[in-house]
Amino acid sequence: MDIEIYEANFRDKVEHRKENGKKFINEYELLDELGEGSFGKVKRVTRYFKETEEQEELSKSDYAMKIFHKTVLAHQRTCFYESNSNDPKMTNLLEFADNEINIHKYLNHPNICKLYEIIDDEDDPQQKIYLIMQLGDLGCIMNFCEITFKYIRNQAILDYLKMNYMQAAKLLFKQIAQAIQYLHEHNIVNRDIKIDNIICTTLYPLDQCCKLIDFSTSRIAEKDSIFYDCAGTPGFRAPEVQFCLNDGYSPFKLDIWSFGICLYIYTHEKLPFWGEGDLETDLLARDQPLQFEVQDDLLINLINSCCAKKPQDRPTIQEILDHEWFK
């Protein structure tokens, strides 16, 4: 990989302790749970540290800690395809976690959640790996309502930005496009761009408030790479991922489709393609045109081009950033 400037710190010692009823992992106090994915839990943590030797009161700052359970992941077997091969192989989820760490630890961009530290101790009694990341203290850009199956815009972010949702959409999605541009320029594909993987923070200037998270399905790819494995999340993934048969799909064009879907969801507060199950959702994505409920022709043009049914008709990430809608 052509990114040598940054590498997250690695520590091979972990210490678990309790103080006054509080749980600590090394210098990090464990707080509330921020979320849970298929690979592990994510917790808010506070780090206590001394900025100078003389300092008496400890300084503190907040992070997100993603926790992988090594033994659990090692026992979960799954089938996968290597890049450029349609010959399936067996692996376990720990290898996927390793892949995520090995890509994420080098990523250094203001719109990508920074991975600061990896704690992996062979003698850890809990057999876990701990990733210390930048905290998205404002949460995801939208919240999913399990009852209505709808995404609702995160009002705390709109209040923080002091913007209406269309102004916020331009600001946030430009930043996500810049994150994808950085990945694509470095021959990395994300393959799981979705609303749940876009978080916001109050830590930085506004043009750095939005961060892409979760690199579990990221891969190194050449511009003309063809992939064969089923990546992405139903509702967000391009139809060719499910229906490519032996032809495979371009992972770069998959990211572009998913970007367009996220922009649609943010501006409409609903998923454009949602069927009874994953197969119907993918079929709708393949066969149905997008239905718009906004009046903005430039926005409609941008989303329609990202979600062109033929992958070769979709723009590059640079073309997206140059689109009139962002001007």
Ligand X SMILES: Nc1ncnc2c1ncn2[C@@H]1O[C@H](COP(=O)(O)OP(=O)(O)OP(=O)(O)O)[C@@H](O)[C@H]1O
Residue list for the binding site = 66
Instruction: For the CB of residue 301, give the shortest distance to ligand X in the complex, in Å.
Output: 30
CB of 146 to ligand X, least distance (A): 14
Q: How far is the CB of 96 from ligand X (least distance, A)?
A: 9
Residue 38 as a binder of ligand X (CB under 6 A): the answer is yes
Which is closer to ligand X, CB of 101 or CB of 133? 133
Q: Which residues are annotated binding-site positions for ATP?
A: 66
Q: What would the two tokens of residue 196 be?
A: 């749940």
Burial class of residue 245, CB neighbours in 10 A (0-12, 13-18, 19+): exposed
- Cβ contacts of 299 within 8 Å, gap of 6 or more: 169, 263, 267, 325
- Which of 42, 45, 210, 265 is in the footprint of ligand X by CB under 6 A? 42
Of 232 and 248, which CB lies nearer to ligand X in the complex structure?
232
Cα distance between residue 210 and residue 111, in whole Å: 6
Say how far apart CA 65 and CA 24 lie, in whole Å: 12
* Collapsed DSSP state (helix, strand, coil) of residue 211: strand
Could you say which of 34, 119, 200, 285 contacts ligand X (CB under 6 A)? 34
Question: Side-chain half-sphere of 83: how many Cα atoms within 13 Å?
Answer: 17
Q: Which of 64, 115, 172, 263 binds ligand X (CB under 6 A)?
A: 64
214 lies in the site for ligand X, by CB under 6 A: yes
The CB-of-219 to ligand X minimum distance in angstroms stands at 14
Nearer to ligand X, 201 or 242 (CB): 201
Q: How far is CA 110 from CA 182, 200, 212, 213, in A?
A: 10, 12, 10, 12
Which CB sits closer to ligand X, 43 or 314? 43
Strands in the chain per DSSP E: 9-11, 16-19, 22-25, 28-36, 40-49, 59-69, 77-81, 88-92, 115-120, 128-133, 139-140, 142-145, 150-153, 188-189, 198-200, 210-212, 219-220
Minimum Å distance from CB 236 to ligand X?
Answer: 10
Return the residues of window 180-199 that contact ligand X according to CB under 6 A. 196-197, 199
**Closer residue to ligand X (CB): 39 or 325:** 39
Residue 229 as a binder of ligand X (CB under 6 A): the answer is: no
Is the Cβ–Cβ distance between 127 and 71 less than 8 Å?
yes
Q: How far is the CB of 264 from ligand X (least distance, A)?
A: 19
| Number of residues located near ligand X, criterion CB under 6 A | 22
Binding part of the chain for ligand X, among 13-21, 38-46, 202-210, 263-271 by CB under 6 A, reads: 38-46
Residues 81-140 that bind ligand X (CB under 6 A): 113, 133-136, 140
Pick the binder of ligand X from 27, 29, 37, 160 (CB under 6 A).
37
Task: Work out how close the CB of 277 gets to ligand X at its nearest, in angstroms, rounded to a whole number.
Answer: 18
List the one residue from 213, 261, 302, 306 that touches ligand X (CB under 6 A). Answer: 213
Of the candidates 142, 322, 135, the one whose C-alpha atom is nearest the C-alpha of residue 236 is 142
> Exposed/middle/buried for 180, CB within 10 Å: 0-12, 13-18, 19+?
buried
Both structure tokens of 226: 């063809």
Q: Name the residues that contact ligand X, by CB under 6 A.
A: 34-40, 42, 64, 66, 113, 133-136, 140, 196-197, 199, 213-214, 216
